[in-house]
Homo-oligomer: A and B are copies of this chain.
Amino acid sequence: MGIKHGSRDAVRLGELALLAQIRSRTGHSRGTGLRLGIGDDCALLRLKAGEELAVTTDLSIAGRHFRLDWHQPEAIGHRVLARGLSDLAAMGARPAAAFLSLGLPRELTVATGRRPAWVERFYDGLLALAENHKTALAGGDLAESPIAVADIVLVGAVRQGRVLLRSGAQIGDLLYVTGALGGAAAGLARLAEIAGPPSTGKVSLRPPRIPRALESALAAHFFPQPRIAQGLWLVRHKLASAALDLSDGLSTDLAHLCEESGVAAEVDAAALPVADGANPMQALNGGEDYELLFTAPATARLPRSISGVPVTRIGRIVRPRRGRPQVTLVGARGAEPLVPLGWEHFS
């Protein structure tokens, strides 16, 4: 490990120059406690006294979590890191370091003429988001692979005993989300229209040209923003009783929270902050928004926004009762069960 810069895998990929470049772009410690990055068998980190460690890994696979013929390499790099950062945000952890294991077909590592290699543009997207969140890329692994796979590992730090868990929700707590919901799903639906039907046979490496006018409509899908600052704020102010990030969609993730906390929940349909261009079904079931879903006691005074991102009360935690659905959607037509209809990926 480290990225073993002289290893056979690296040599095979013709990657020595690329790896040196990555190393030069990622060696900064930035005061995150990173003592030693790429180049030895392991990376070394130090935490501050009284901190504990949060670790998360997320595997992204071409054709399932992203498509080479749909997504710009920068967006894929961004999305890979965003998945991991969002898990830290959900715990209220401060990012300390990221590790990336990357398996790539050879053609994605080769620059053609004046155009940079796919992998360089992938790193551009990943490192730009890492920079935004002061997260060092501290190591990883690199191998040739018949399909593109990327496993991101995030190591974060949180004050002992202050972490936000899924299991802390109490009956009577109120339910909140950050930001708006359904934007990623709506963007994906637009992208599917632009990109057309799946290509057959060998997948093109050329994603479709996105019309300027649609760029902002697709941003929630291409470049979701992990809510690190909001998670840290909730920990600092000791307001939240439980939290998770909306990766699979509200209906699915809220069921997880209820299950881990042993509670039930009611969601007010009219209160849902539906993203511009999204419909209510996308807000309820669309995944990959990476907003935070959290609970707080009814006595807690939540602000309308945290670090510029709106906070909306969308419902409440109630006592679970046999024969009643775990999550209920309360709308104009009365109450109905909110069935988990989690995220459909690309397969």
**Nearest opposing residue in chain B for A11, CB measure:** B342
Binds B, one of A126-134, A143-151, A269-277, A315-323: A143-151
Instruction: Give the docked Cα–Cα distance between A7 and B287 (Å).
Output: 11
Say yes or no: B149 contacts A145, CB within 8 Å: yes
Binds B, one of A66-74, A90-98, A330-338: A90-98
Instruction: Give the docked Cα–Cα distance between A9 and B145 (Å).
Output: 21
A139 in contact with B56 given A40-B166, A46-B160 (CB within 8 Å): yes
Is the CB of A163 closer than 8 A to any CB of chain B? yes
Our pick among B9, B103, B245, B252 for the contact of A41 (Cβ within 8 Å) is B245
Say yes or no: A41 contacts B244, CB within 8 Å: yes
Say yes or no: A43 contacts B55, CB within 8 Å: yes
Write out the residue numbers on chain B whose beta carbons fall within 8 Å of the beta carbon of A35.
52
Say yes or no: A144 contacts B347, CB within 8 Å: yes
Is the CB of A123 closer than 8 A to any CB of chain B? no
Is the CB of A255 closer than 8 A to any CB of chain B? yes
A164 to chain B, nearest CB (A): 8
Chain A positions 1-54 with a Cβ under 8 Å from a chain B Cβ:
1-2, 4, 6-9, 11, 35-36, 39-47, 49, 52-54
Contact count band on A? 35 or more
**Nearest opposing residue in chain B for A46, CB measure:** B52
Our pick among B2, B87, B102 for the contact of A1 (Cβ within 8 Å) is B87
Write out the residue numbers on chain B whose beta carbons fall within 8 Å of the beta carbon of A36.
165
Chain A positions 246-264 with a Cβ under 8 Å from a chain B Cβ:
247-248, 252, 255-256, 259-260
A234 to chain B, nearest CB (A): 13
A6 in contact with B255 given A41-B245, A260-B39 (CB within 8 Å): yes
Say yes or no: A57 contacts B8, CB within 8 Å: no
Is the CB of A279 closer than 8 A to any CB of chain B? no
Binary contact readout A220-257 vs B (1 if CB under 8 angstroms, 0 otherwise): 00000000000000000000000011011000100110
Is the CB of A215 closer than 8 A to any CB of chain B? no
Is the CB of A65 closer than 8 A to any CB of chain B? yes
A binding-site residues for B, Cβ under 8 Å = 1-2, 4, 6-9, 11, 35-36, 39-47, 49, 52-59, 61, 63-65, 84, 87-88, 90-91, 93, 97, 99-103, 138-147, 149, 151, 153-156, 158, 160, 163, 165-167, 244-245, 247-248, 252, 255-256, 259-260, 287, 340, 342-345, 347
Extra contacts, 20 of them, besides A4-B256, A42-B93, A47-B53 (Cβ < 8 A), are A1-B87, A2-B56, A4-B248, A6-B340, A8-B343, A40-B167, A41-B56, A41-B87, A41-B244, A42-B88, A43-B54, A45-B53, A45-B55, A55-B97, A55-B99, A59-B149, A61-B145, A61-B149, A101-B101, A103-B149
Q: List 17 A-B contacts (CB under 8 A).
A: A6-B256, A7-B252, A8-B344, A35-B52, A40-B166, A41-B245, A42-B54, A42-B156, A44-B52, A44-B54, A53-B53, A57-B151, A61-B149, A64-B143, A101-B101, A101-B151, A151-B151
